[in-house]
Amino acid sequence: MLVLTRKSGEKLRIGNNIIITILNHSYGQIKMGIEAPPEIPIYREEIYNRIREKNQASVLVDAPNPNLLKRLFKGMK
Amino acid sequence: MNTPPATSEIKSVFTTENCLFGVENITGGKVVEFRYGLPGFESLSKFVVADVKDYSPFKILQSIEDPDVSLLILNIDFLKMPMDARITIDKMKNINNNGCNQEGEVEIYVILRYDKAIKAFSANMKAPLVVNFKNQVGKQIILEDENLSVHHTLTLI
Residues of B in contact with A44 (CB under 8 A): 142
B41 to chain A, closest Cα gap in Å: 8
* Yes or no, beta carbons of B127 and A51 under 8 Å apart: yes
Highest mean pLDDT among A9-18, A68-77, B26-35: A9-18
* Cα–Cα dist A33/A19, whole Å: 8
Which residue in B5, B107, B119, B152 sits closest to B64, CA to CA? B5
Strand partners, B123: B112, B152
Average pLDDT for residues B93-119, to the nearest whole number? 73
**Phi and psi (nearest 5°) for A22?**
-80, 115
Q: What are the backbone dihedrals phi and psi of residue B79, each rounded to the nearest 5 degrees, phi first? A: -90, 135
- Between B54 and B20, name the one with better pLDDT: B54
Which tens digits make up the pLDDT trace of B121-139?
999 989 999 888 888 888 8
**Cα separation of B124 and B149, whole Å?**
6
Provide the pLDDT for residue B41: 96
**pLDDT tens-digit series, residues A24-75:** 988 999 999 999 987 788 889 999 999 999 999 999 998 889 999 999 998 8
The answer to whether B63 and B52 are in contact (CB under 8 A) is no
Angle B12-B40-B92 from CA coordinates, rounded to 5° = 90
Instruction: Check CB contact under 8 Å for B21 and A62.
Output: no
CB-based contact, B41 to chain A, within 8 Å: yes
pLDDT of residue B105 exceeding 80, the answer is no
Torsion angle of C-alpha atoms B20, B149, B101, B39, degrees rounded to 10: -60
pTM of the model: 0.84
Interchain contact B39–A (C-beta under 8 A): yes
What is d(CA B58, CA B76) in angstroms, rounded to the nearest whole number? 10
Task: Establish if A28 touches chain B: CB-CB under 8 angstroms.
Answer: no
Cβ-based contacts under 8 A for chains A and B: 107
* Chain A residues within an 8 Å CB radius of B157: 71, 74-75
Please report the ipTM that was assigned to this predicted complex.
0.84
